[in-house]
Homo-oligomer: A and B are copies of this chain.
Amino acid sequence: MEKLKEYVSVKDEDHFYHQGAVELLIFNFLLILTILTIWLFKNHRFRFLHETGGAMLYGLVMGLIIRYVTKSPDVESGTVYECEKLKSGPSTLLINITNQVYEYQYKREISHHNVNGHQGNSMLQKMTFDPSIFFNILLPPIIFHAGYSLKKRHFFRNLGSILTYAFLGTAISCIVIGLIMYGFVKAMVHIGQLKQWEFHFTDCLFFGSLMSATDPVTVLAIFHELNVDTDLYTLLFGESVLNDAVAIVLTHSISIYSPKENPNAFDAAAFFQSVGNFLGIFAGSFAMGSSYAVVTALISFMHLTKFTKLCEFPMLETGLFFLLSWSAFLSAEAAGLTGIVAVLFCGVTQAHYTYNNLSADSKMRTKQLFEFMNFLAENVIFCYMGLALFTFQNHIFNPLFIFGALVAVFVARASNIYPLSFLLNLGRKHKIPRTFQHMMMFSGLRGAIAFALAIRDTDSQPKQMMFSTALLVVFFTVWVCGGGTTPMLTWLQIRSVLVGVDPDEDLKARAVSQSAPNLDKNTTKAESAWLFRIWYGFDHKYLKPLLTHAGPPLTSTLPEWCNPVARILTSPRAYGDQLKDGDTVYIINNDELTENYESSAHIAVPAQDSTASTQATGKEDIQEGDLGLGGYKLQLQPTSGQPQKNSLA
């Protein structure tokens, strides 16, 4: 009898072990299906259901199967046990059951109304994985990749507009959604669907902030395939990347906002504290992310005399790059800041400085690694969103609330894009045309970030209702708006040129800029903010030479009395460039990141070949870094035959 009991217990454990494998296998299976579907779609140029929509669909079907086919819940499920001895929930609980001690790990606090029949189905339980995995492991590579592959020239040319959309636009969107939802909530209370005290105005604002995070994935993928206009692409990409960061910090600030007395009344002190929190968290996360990147740049830049440089060991270099970037995220989270913002700016800074110091091999390795991780993480998230519709056990679907959310999302998007575009067009030289505005309005898909923010807290009934609603809005926008992108582009007759720049046009532009260099520069100059110009000068003169092998040597940019220090800090390679090129400097860089690596990245292609390879891949910007700063002539003429570090090769 003793023996038998032991045997059963071993079997039981086996069961627990294998379950980890089964869940992972389900995800693997979904991802394999998705990849095969993408392949199929690519073959048939089928664009009405995008791959992310497909991944979500597979997840949905799998969730349905898991919910209704797997074994029925345990007998014990749904029973709440009393424990008088305990005062609070400890992290670990030891329980003596029929003379065996079992260890239980704290999972979460749940409300009484959530104790329903499905609670005990361990398969469902396990499939709805921990939000912390979502945040700590799946999101960072996606956001980092977005920052790392930012097309810098176009981004900076539209910086003002992007910042306006991201900061002001998100705030508008958040408030509009909050107000509309508050109206709907009032109506629901009026018809008796909701109790008054459950839903405060701050909850509505919270919902507004999380629903303001737009997802670039689907639309940008389609834009990329269709080669849509560069400016539109950059505006949308820049807006949605920064807007995620803003929305996350906003959500965080609102969740901390706690007025002292009546939660519905306006508390000025608490409000300003929230605004302060917002600014503090944003700035802190920004600083955390960039400083990790600067540390990486410094390590990869080190040129101690007795040391072999790190770039001699591509594996170590890649590893360090990867770990430090991830640490930026984790440190920010651990310090109570926003990891997503940190990792985004870490990515931007890494691309700006560290990338220049990496060995050719590491440049390719890091690029491919992050691309791959981004691809996997993205598809896992979309599969998971599909799964969550059936595996999450405490959904609250309220038709009125869902309808209200759909209305609110579209109204908020409209009151963000159109008024701001109008204002921006007053100042912009290249106006944002009406068709672009319609397209931006239409492209406000909700995706991973909105979902992640909603799933982070699903304890109370209002939060559960928000989560269920957010999930449905994501489904709706991804399938309807995502699927409708191609028809919409055709209907709006948006110029479909190569993403990046039409090579022919750019060649002409180059010819023009070489003959009359000031023309093009002034145009760009006028568009760049003065603050940005000052920063760029500082960056180019001091930071770049200090952190990378690019840029002029410090000895020429620093005042003369700093020479002894400057000489130590300048890379020998900078002197080399100096000797070769006189006072002209190659400020072409980073955007080689976005290059299609069909052609080898570490065989140095002479500069004149870069045009050809660009035309072949059709995705590249030529003349990157032409930021319109006087004093640095752009030298890309075919005469420089020798391979150069910063050429597009």
Contact = CB atoms under 8 A, between A and B. Distances in A.
Interface of A: 3, 7, 9-10, 13-14, 16-18, 20-22, 24-25, 28-29, 31-32, 35-36, 38-39, 42-43, 74-83, 85-98, 100-112, 114-115, 119-120, 122, 125, 130-133, 135-136, 255, 258, 299, 306-308, 310, 313, 315-316, 318-320, 322-324, 326-327, 329-331, 333-334, 336, 339, 361, 365, 368-369, 371-372, 375-376, 456-457, 459, 597-598, 600, 602-603
B111 A323 contact: no
Contacts of A38: 313, 316
A493 to B, nearest CB: 29
B94 A87 contact: no
Nearest to A29: B327
B81 A25 contact: no
A95 B106 CA distance: 10
A109 B85 CA distance: 22
A28 B81 contact: no
A28 B325 CA distance: 10
B320 A32 contact: yes
Given A3-B258, A319-B31, A327-B28, A89 B110 contact: no
B25 A330 contact: yes
Main secondary structure of the interface of A (DSSP, over half): helix
Contact of A372 (B35, B43, B74, B315): B315
A296 to B, nearest CB: 10
Contact of A25 (B79, B83, B101, B327): B327
Contacts of A329: 21
A258 B103 contact: no
Contacts of A43: 306-308
B109 A94 contact: no
Given A25-B334, A79-B94, 15 more contacts: A13-B108, A17-B456, A18-B334, A29-B327, A31-B323, A35-B319, A39-B313, A42-B313, A74-B90, A81-B95, A86-B98, A100-B109, A101-B109, A101-B115, A104-B107
B115 A597 contact: no
Contacts of A258: 3, 7
A456 B93 CA distance: 21
A323 B32 contact: yes
B96 A119 contact: no
A310 B125 CA distance: 36
Q: Which 7 A-B pairs have the closest CB atoms?
A: A104-B104, A76-B90, A21-B333, A20-B132, A25-B330, A91-B122, A89-B102
Nearest to A4: B258
Nearest to A119: B92
Nearest to A312: B42
Contacts of A108: 13, 102-103
A595 to B, nearest CB: 13
B83 A81 contact: yes
Contacts of A313: 38-39, 42
Contacts of A361: 597-598
A17 B108 CA distance: 11
Nearest to A131: B17
Nearest to A261: B3
Nearest to A24: B330
A103 B107 contact: yes
A43 B320 CA distance: 17
A102 B74 CA distance: 18
Contact of A94 (B115, B132, B308, B339): B115
Contact of A20 (B14, B29, B31, B136): B136
19 contacts: A14-B336, A17-B333, A32-B323, A35-B319, A39-B313, A74-B92, A76-B90, A83-B95, A83-B96, A83-B97, A86-B95, A88-B97, A89-B97, A92-B120, A94-B119, A103-B108, A315-B372, A319-B375, A361-B597
Contacts of A20: 130, 132-133, 135-136
Contacts of A83: 81, 95-97
Contact of A315 (B100, B316, B330, B375): B375
A288 B110 CA distance: 42
Contacts of A29: 327
A609 B526 CA distance: 54
Contacts of A132: 17, 20-21
Contact of A102 (B42, B96, B109): B109
A372 B318 contact: yes
Contact of A104 (B7, B24, B105): B105
